[in-house]
Copies of this chain bind each other. A is one copy, B any other.
């Protein structure tokens, strides 16, 4: 999506450790007009699919998921970060590793919100190592729901997550795929 690539080039900042900071429009301050256009693009890409629910993970996926849910006229569910070690029987859960923040945590979704008859589109802001996305996919699989695919805002194409998820047969539609970032702030797209 050219508009998103242009915005990343304009307002994204490359930080040491191949971190891309896009918090002026994506994951701290949110440009809702841009989100709406991104949601319309996912709607176009997945227009042939039956979708009954959008699934994301807190916090920075929520805005994109809500705008997308609006396009599909379905509810959105966000997986919660579980900061306690208590896991109720009533939740699906997955262990997620954040390489950026050097943390591990569980994400949970109440079982009543993922049903075998659901057709799920996963939406998230970033795909890098794929830990969060694989966790969400695992919860959809555990619920018996049908996974329509995943819509990602920015995929780091030089990290393994995208390939890992596509190898599982999951359709991934990333609106911008970064091929390379260097320490001088240059960003090239696939």
Cβ-defined contact, A63 with B35, below 8 A: no
Q: Which of A22-30, A143-151, A157-165, A181-189 contacts B (4 or more CB under 8 A)?
A: A22-30
Contact of A66 with B32 at beta-carbon distance under 8 Å, contacts A58-B58, A78-B59 already known: yes
Contact of A30 with B63 at beta-carbon distance under 8 Å, contacts A58-B58, A110-B23, A112-B24 already known: no
The docked-state distance in angstroms from the alpha carbon of A103 to that of B32 is 31
Give A148 Cβ to nearest chain B Cβ, in Å.
Answer: 17
A109-144 contacts to B, CB under 8 A, are 109-110, 112-113
Is the CB of A33 closer than 8 A to any CB of chain B? Answer: yes
Is the CB of A76 closer than 8 A to any CB of chain B? Answer: yes
Give A22 Cβ to nearest chain B Cβ, in Å.
Answer: 13
A63 contacts which chain B residues (CB < 8 A)? 62-63, 65-66, 76, 78
Q: Which of A41-49, A67-75, A172-180 contacts B (4 or more CB under 8 A)?
A: A67-75
Cβ-defined contact, A75 with B29, below 8 A: yes
Contact of A30 with B67 at beta-carbon distance under 8 Å, contacts A24-B112, A58-B59, A110-B23 already known: no
Contact of A30 with B113 at beta-carbon distance under 8 Å, contacts A58-B58, A59-B78, A78-B59 already known: no
**Chain A: interface secondary structure?**
mixed
The docked-state distance in angstroms from the alpha carbon of A28 to that of B77 is 6
Contact of A80 with B67 at beta-carbon distance under 8 Å, contacts A32-B75, A113-B28 already known: no
Contact of A32 with B62 at beta-carbon distance under 8 Å, contacts A23-B110, A112-B24 already known: no
A3-26 vs B, CB cutoff 8 Å, 1 = contact: the mask equals 000000000000000000001110
Give A129 Cβ to nearest chain B Cβ, in Å.
Answer: 20
Cβ-defined contact, A70 with B28, below 8 A: no
Among residues of B, the one whose C-beta sits closest to the C-beta of A74 is B32
A/B interface sample: 12 pairs, CB < 8 A: A24-B112, A28-B109, A28-B113, A30-B66, A32-B66, A32-B75, A58-B58, A59-B78, A62-B62, A63-B63, A63-B65, A63-B78
